[in-house]
């Protein structure tokens, strides 16, 4: 897999929580999860949904979660970029993790979604050129009421509030998709289907 130079989106400042590293060594079971993460990342890349370091994905892992690392490019995930989040102290904005790289800046959002949706086994947060176009969203995907800065508890809680409408996928206003499901494949289906639906809507509007 040819990997381009790593790019960081303008305005990205890294994680906004206190990251407490329990061990620099990767958890011994994280490499076994890597092929699944890589396959889903490559699928998102086929739909142009992996711009620079935007987006993240995770799976529930025992009492914690396995998540992509901060600064990871989902289209070109590396083996050491699957990080174990052991626990989160949400109110203190503190994340305890194991691995050589800090976990995704949206680790707290993933943590809170798993707590809210106890049946969720995987979460994907992805971006494309359509999710930030409100004229395409009506009747398609529920959107959060307001915009919140990435990586904040406020954004996480806004996502959960929107999930309470009953759908397993929402759009963070002016940001991107968040979906949960029974595994990464099923969750990716939700994200890609929403992406393609918005694409068809845009194409239809141009043709009419």
Task: Give the pLDDT of residue 10.
Answer: 63
Q: How many domains does the chain divide into?
A: 1
Cα separation, 26 vs 83, whole angstroms: 7
Can you list the pairs that 152-159 forms with residues at least 24 positions away whose Cβ atoms lie under 8 Å? 152/16, 153/90, 153/93, 153/108, 153/112, 155/106, 155/109, 156/106, 156/108, 156/109, 156/111, 156/112, 156/113, 157/112, 159/109, 159/112, 159/113
Instruction: Take residue 198 and report the two structure tokens written for it.
Output: 């918005």
183 inside domain: yes
Q: Kindly state whether residue 64 falls inside one of the protein's structural domains.
A: yes
* Residue 135 falls inside a structural domain: yes
Res. 1 pLDDT band, cuts 50 70 90:
very low
Residue 172's beta-bridge partner residues? 176
**The model's pTM:** 0.94
Model confidence pLDDT, tens digit, residues 141-160: 999 999 999 999 999 999 99
Element (H, E) at 31: helix 30-46
The residue range of the domain holding 41 is 18-207
For residue 120, tell me if it sits in a domain: yes
Residues 55-78 have a mean pLDDT of: 95
Beta carbons within 8 Å of 41's beta carbon, 6+ residues apart:
50, 57, 74, 75, 76, 77
In a domain? residue 4: no
The answer to whether residue 31 sits within a structural domain is yes
Give the CATH number for residue 139.
Answer: 3.40.225.10
């Amino acid at each position: 897999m040819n990997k381009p130079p790593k790019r960081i989106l303008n305005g990205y400042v890294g994680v906004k929580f206190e990251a407490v590293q329990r061990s620099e060594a990767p958890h011994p079971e994280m490499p076994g999860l890597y092929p699944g993460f890589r396959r889903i990342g490559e699928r998102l890349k086929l739909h142009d949904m992996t711009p620079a370091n935007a987006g993240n994905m995770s799976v529930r892992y025992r009492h914690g979660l396995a998540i992509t690392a901060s600064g990871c490019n989902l289209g070109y995930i590396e083996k050491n970029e699957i990080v174990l989040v052991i626990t989160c102290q949400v109110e203190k904005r503190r994340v305890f993790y194991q691995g050589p790289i800090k976990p995704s800046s949206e680790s707290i959002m993933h943590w809170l979604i798993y707590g809210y949706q106890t049946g969720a086994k995987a979460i994907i947060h992805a971006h494309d050129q359509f999710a930030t176009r409100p004229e395409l969203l009506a009747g398609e995907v529920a959107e959060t009421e307001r915009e919140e800065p990435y990586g904040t508890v406020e954004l996480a809680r806004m996502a959960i509030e929107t999930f309470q409408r009953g759908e397993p996928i929402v759009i963070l206003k002016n940001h991107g998709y968040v979906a949960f499901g029974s595994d990464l494949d099923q969750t990716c289906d939700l994200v890609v289907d929403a992406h393609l639906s918005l694409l068809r809507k845009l194409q239809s509007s141009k043709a009419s």
